[in-house]
Amino acid sequence: MIDAKRRPSNASLGRKLVVALPYAWLIVFFLVPFLIVLKISLSQSAIALPPYAPVLDFAAGWRGIARFFAGLSFDNYRLLGSDPLYLLSYVKSLEIAAFATLMLLAIGYPIAYGMARTPRRVQAVLVVLVVLPFWTSFLIRIYAWMNILQRDGLLNKALLALHIVHEPPVWLATDTAIYIGMVYSYLPFMVLPLYAVLEKLDQSLLEAAADLGCPRWKAFWLVTLPLSSPGIVAGVLLCFIPIVGEFVIPDLLGGSSAPMIGQTIWTEFFGNKDWPAASAVAVALVCLLVTPIVLFQHQAMRTSEKG
Amino acid sequence: MRRVTAFNLFAIVLGIVFLYLPIVVLVIYSFNASRLVAVWGGWSTHWYTELAGDAAILSAASISLRVAFVSASLATLLGTLAAVALVRFGRFRGRLLFASMIYAPLVMPEVITGLSLLLLFVALAVDRGFWTVVIAHTTMAACFVTVVVQSRLVDFDMSLEEAAMDLGSPPLRTFLSITLPLILPALAAAWMLAFALSLDDLVIASFTTGPGATTLPIRIYSQVRLGVKPEINAVCSIFIAVVCVAVLTASFAAKLTAARGAPTRL
């Protein structure tokens, strides 16, 4: 800041306060909780309150702290590696997230592309239309699909009426239902970043390509697609990361055969009351997502600094 | 020249139909007279009157609204401060950690945010209830607020502030009388977003809530797990109606202020 030196000294106190308040909040309620998860993932499950051991005991002085560190172990992580249930759960989460994100890209791109080509006035209306479902509750929108996908729901009624099937197929409690739910819920997260990039695309580049005799599909492949890559990256990250840890959609629409990782954490915690195992599963999930999360942060910071 | 092809139109129409069909079906079925959810028994407002007598749902709704109001207000305050720090203060010590903590919760799976906050509350031996949910929602929503306010501050005309300061206005007063009124629409949008996020959240609230603080999504979830119920259709329809009116009003208001404020943004 150019005029920083001119400001009176109480201004710098004010500045410190502006940073300190949200900084302190995030350290106490975001960073520290995560460190606690890390610590508990190295503890043992115990029948006590809280249900894990060792507990850091400052009252016992150095001996307490020494005992605490001696009590830590990697047993929970060994369990993660050896029990196929956990491994399956991670594989299933990654698989669903990867395919769902691909489907979202395939469905979202034509929508965003179409939106960007409509007249300005229509664009504003379309953006509101795409954003509006995002504001209505996530849970409600999944519940709405339960209505449609149930055995004698609207989808089966329509299929039977059109004589496409003769026996009502089962939709709920299948992976198909999970994919429908994921694509439906995350579509705005894919369409909006793509639209933001496509809308700013310099049309004269496409005109130049056309003037030089480039066919339209080739111009799309060589000009539009590469130029929209920031939107693709943003959309893919915004969908992929939360889908891996998704709980509500697989829980309500999916079957019980192979749970996704979010469900595993939930049942370890609420069902089995095994807090250390739940923490270990959570830490492993973060490790799995660390690359995409860092990529996302990097991109978010770059966009915000570009101004 | 931009031209809307049949394919473009097809994609848009199909996309919009896909987004709205389930919601429309839900609202229509909330007026179903039949107790069997899959059978259409004619129009009726039976489930809405039933709802008015359901004390559990009503108290859950009131708790949800109060949590959302308090946490949205706190999140707007914290998020705005964070946005000001990120946009205006250049490189300060610890900026990288600060920015990381702002952006990480945006994509962090809710299960992990919920679990970690619960373990914090247990470690601190705090009784869980209304305030723990408020704290959890504030933490989650503050990051979204920061992003919204930040984008407004980035294309803010600094010369207005500089003029005020050159004329001897202290920074706090400059902020309150110049900056704040100009970013107010962004603050309103951010507050609404935070409110909606809090009202919507099931996972984080399930982890951080305690006895006597059952929010509406937790209540709905516990009913819905057992299958589709006509009363829940009615609750959801009311929720959707409220949200639609609020969002449409807000985007209309934003358009009005944007049209009025346009010259100052040049």
Mean pLDDT for chain A overall = 83
Which of A131-135, A300-304, B118-122: highest mean pLDDT? Answer: B118-122
Please judge whether B9 and A7 are an interchain contact, meaning their C-beta atoms are less than 8 angstroms apart.
Answer: no
What the block records as the tokens of B183 is: 């970013």
Paired with A44 in beta bridges are A53
In angstroms, the CA B224 to CA B233 distance is 10
Q: Which of residues 4-63 of A touch B (CB under 8 A)?
A: 7-8, 11, 14-15, 18-19, 21-23, 25-27, 29-34, 36-37, 40, 50
DSSP 8-state assignment for residue B32: B
B87 touches chain A (CB under 8 A): yes
Per-residue pLDDT, B1: 47
How confident is the model at residue A167, as a pLDDT?
81
ipTM surpasses 0.90: no
A90 touches B: beta carbon within 8 Å? no
Closest A-chain CA to B155 = A307
Sequence-distant (6+) residues with CB within 8 A of B96 are none
Between positions 155 and 184 of A, the ones with CB within 8 A of B are 184
Q: Rounded to an integer, what distance in angstroms lies between the CA atom of residue B256 and that of residue B187?
A: 15
Chain B: residue whose CA lies nearest to A242 = B109
Whether residue B84 and residue A18 make contact (CB cut-off 8 A), yes or no, is yes
Do A1 and B88 form a contact (C-beta atoms < 8 A)?
yes
Residue of A nearest to B9 (CA): A114
Q: Which residue blocks in chain A are alpha helix, DSSP H?
A: 9-26, 32-41, 61-71, 75-82, 84-117, 120-135, 138-149, 154-161, 175-200, 203-211, 216-219, 225-227, 229-244, 248-253, 261-266, 275-306
Domains of chain B: 55-265 (1.10.3720.10)
Structure tokens at B176: 């309150």
Is A304 at the interface with chain B, CB within 8 A? yes
Question: Which chain A residue shows the shortest CA-CA distance from B236?
Answer: A140
C-alpha–C-alpha distance, residues A97 and A90, integer Å: 11
Does the beta carbon of A74 lie under 8 angstroms from any beta carbon of chain B? no
Please tell me which of the candidates A22, A33, A146 has its beta carbon nearest to residue B117.
Answer: A33
Cβ of A94 under 8 Å from any chain B Cβ?
no
- What is the separation of C-alpha A180 from the centre of its chain, rounded to a whole number of angstroms? 16
Distance set, CA B114 to CA A166, A250, A262, B179, B256 (Å): 45, 18, 11, 35, 38
B163, B170, B157, B126: which is closest to B262 by C-alpha? B157
Chain A residues with CB-CB distance to B104 below 8 A:
30, 293, 297
**B243 contact residues in A (CB cutoff 8 A):** 135-137
pLDDT value of position B141:
93
Residues of chain B neighbouring A32 (CB-CB closer than 8 A): 120
Q: Cβ separation of B115 and A141 shorter than 8 Å?
A: no
Q: What is the CATH number of domain A76-306?
A: 1.10.3720.10
The better pLDDT of the pair B225, B12 is held by: B12
pLDDT for A67 beyond 70: no
Residue in A closest to B101 by C-alpha: A26
Residues A29, B139: C-beta atoms closer than 8 Å: yes
State whether residue B188 sits within 8 Å of chain A by CB. no
Tokens of A295: 């990529």
Q: What is the pLDDT of residues B150-178, one digit of tens each?
A: 888 887 778 888 888 888 888 888 888 88
Structure tokens at A9: 């000294």
Is residue B79 within 8 Å of B143, Cβ to Cβ? yes
Model confidence over B96-120: pLDDT tens digits? 888 888 888 888 888 999 999 999 9
Mean pLDDT across chain B:
85
pLDDT recorded at residue A307: 44
**Cα–Cα distance for residue pair B51/A19, rounded to 1 Å:** 46
Q: Provide, as residue numbers in chain A, all residues whose Cβ is less than 8 Å from the Cβ of B26.
A: 140, 143-144, 147
CA dihedral B234, B204, A259, A48 (to 10 degrees): -120
The string of pLDDT tens digits covering residues A199-249 is 888 888 888 888 888 888 888 888 888 888 888 988 998 899 889 989 989
Q: Are B86 and B78 in contact (CB under 8 A)?
A: no
Please check whether residue B110 is in contact with residue A247, taking contact to mean a CB–CB distance below 8 angstroms. yes
Question: How many angstroms separate the CA atoms of A127 and A118, rounded?
Answer: 11
Q: B181: pLDDT confidence band, cut at 50, 70 and 90? A: confident
Residues A289, B109: C-beta atoms closer than 8 Å:
yes
List, in sequence order, every residue forming a beta bridge with A52; answer none if it has no partner: A45
The residue of chain B nearest to residue A250, with distances taken between CA atoms, is B225
Closest Cα of chain A to B218: distance in Å?
Answer: 10
Provide the chain A residues 230-249 that lie in CB contact (below 8 A) with chain B: 237-238, 241-242, 244-248
Question: What is the DSSP-derived secondary structure letter of residue B46?
Answer: H
Name the phi and psi angles at A52, rounded to 5.
-155, 160
Cα of A223 to nearest chain B Cα, Å: 15
Give the Cα separation of B153 and B237 in Å (integer). Answer: 36
Taking a C-beta distance cutoff of 8 angstroms, is the pair B132, B209 a contact?
A: yes
- Provide mean pLDDT across the span B134-143: 94
Per-residue exposure over B177-195, b if at least 16 CB sit within 10 Å of its own CB, e if not = ebbeebbebbbbbbbbbbb
Which residues in A lie closer than 8 A to residue B171 (C-beta atoms)?
A: 7, 11, 14
Residue B129 is given by DSSP the state S
Record the tokens describing residue A14, joined without a space: 């004010």
Which pairing describes strands A52-53 and A44-45: parallel, antiparallel, or unpaired?
Answer: antiparallel
**In this predicted structure, what is the pLDDT of residue A213?**
85
* Cβ pair A23, B98 in contact under 8 A: yes
